[in-house]
């Protein structure tokens, strides 16, 4: 198990508030430690990048790659033209920081060299369609994104795969991610803040409410943010 893997990071996080106890595996279930890791990471990143004056993009170290395949069952066909209105892709939930910063780094062709233009609202997309020069085309492809992981590609109806490099809300839940081997997308400054936040809370109390694991991640994230005083 690598030192920067999700499982190692989760154990490190829990140990930081458990006095360095080494038998944490007997106290906390692995899946719950991973849940806490994702939760505290989301809070720490949002806090750091919402600090005064920080309006730049997220660092690449906080992102991971994911390839989404087109699913015919979720496509919408124009009833007249009998062609796709857009090509839809299911993508793991993206971490949304604020109106200026989201967790999307790269979205485009699987070669990693064909980025598409990202729009964050249907109104913004409609404005591009109405523009005589900027409307979607094979040379100008747009991707409508939202926090729930519904991506729409406009301008390339032939696309079958979409490469996304992004900061996902729950990295450990991204399909294909190996929690024991793959590097967990976090850097030292974010990890340090995660530990500070964890020390303010009682992990025993949180671990004693397993139903929280079943509830929507964003609900739990909002509740945790309310408990942390952002300086």
Residue 96, Cβ neighbours under 10 Å: how many?
20
Give residue 67's pLDDT band: very low, low, confident or very high (50, 70, 90): very high
Q: What integer pLDDT is reported at residue 230 of this predicted model? A: 44
In this prediction the pTM is 0.83
| Position 212 pLDDT exceeds 90 | no
Token pair, residue 78, equals 């124009």
The pLDDT confidence band at residue 50, using thresholds 50, 70 and 90, is: confident
3-state secondary structure 103-170: CEEEEECCCCCCECEEECCHHHHHHHHHCCCCCCECCECEEECCCCCEEEEECCCCCCEEEEEECECC
Least confident interval from 15-19, 94-98, 155-159? 15-19
Of 29 and 165, the one with more pLDDT = 165
pLDDT digits (tens, 9 = 90+) for 172-184: 999 999 999 999 9
Q: Find out whether 43 and 36 touch, Cβ atoms under 8 Å.
A: no
Question: Which residue reads 């198990």 in tokens?
Answer: 1
**175-182: long-range contacts (C-beta < 8 A, 24 or more apart)?**
175/66, 175/92, 176/66, 177/6, 177/64, 178/5, 179/5, 179/6, 179/7, 179/34, 180/1, 180/2, 180/5, 180/6, 180/7, 181/1, 181/2, 181/5, 182/5, 182/6, 182/64
Inter-CA distances, 153 with 2, 37, 108, 118, Å? 36, 32, 9, 9
Name the most confidently modeled range: 8-17, 118-127, 128-137, 175-184. 175-184
- Of 141, 150, 95, the C-alpha closest to 118 is 141
> What confidence category does residue 148 fall into, taking pLDDT thresholds of 50, 70 and 90?
confident
| Residue 94 to residue 107: CA distance in whole angstroms | 12
Return the domain boundaries, the chain.
6-57+170-227, 69-166
Identify the CA nearest to 157 among candidates 67, 65, 72, 79: 72
Residue 26 confidence class, pLDDT cut points 50, 70, 90? low
Q: Which residue has the higher pLDDT, 230 or 36?
A: 36
pLDDT digits (tens, 9 = 90+) for 126-135: 999 999 899 9
Q: What is the pLDDT of residue 61?
A: 92
Distance CA 49, CA 77 (A): 39
Q: What is the pLDDT of residue 211?
A: 52
């Amino acid at each position: 198990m690598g030192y920067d893997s999700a499982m190692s990071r989760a154990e490190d996080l829990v140990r930081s508030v458990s006095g360095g106890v080494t038998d944490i595996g007997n106290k906390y279930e692995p899946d719950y430690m991973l849940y806490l890791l994702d939760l505290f990471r989301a809070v720490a990143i949002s806090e750091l990048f919402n600090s005064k004056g920080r309006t730049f993009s997220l660092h690449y170290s906080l992102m991971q790659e994911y390839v989404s395949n087109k699913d015919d069952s979720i496509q919408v066909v124009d009833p007249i033209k009998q062609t796709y209105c857009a090509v839809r892709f299911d993508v793991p939930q993206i971490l949304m920081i604020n109106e200026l910063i989201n967790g999307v780094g790269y979205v485009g062709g699987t070669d990693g060299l064909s980025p598409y233009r990202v729009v964050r609202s249907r109104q913004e997309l409609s404005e591009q369609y109405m523009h005589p020069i900027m409307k979607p085309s094979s040379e100008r492809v747009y991707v409508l994104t939202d926090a729930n992981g519904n991506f729409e590609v406009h301008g390339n109806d032939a696309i079958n795969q979409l490469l996304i490099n992004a900061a996902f809300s729950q990295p450990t839940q991204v399909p294909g991610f190996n929690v024991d081997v793959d590097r967990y997308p976090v850097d030292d400054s974010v990890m340090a803040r995660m530990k500070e936040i964890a020390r303010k809370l009682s992990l025993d109390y949180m671990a004693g409410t397993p139903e929280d694991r079943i509830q929507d991640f964003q609900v739990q994230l909002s509740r945790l943010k309310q408990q942390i005083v952002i300086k």
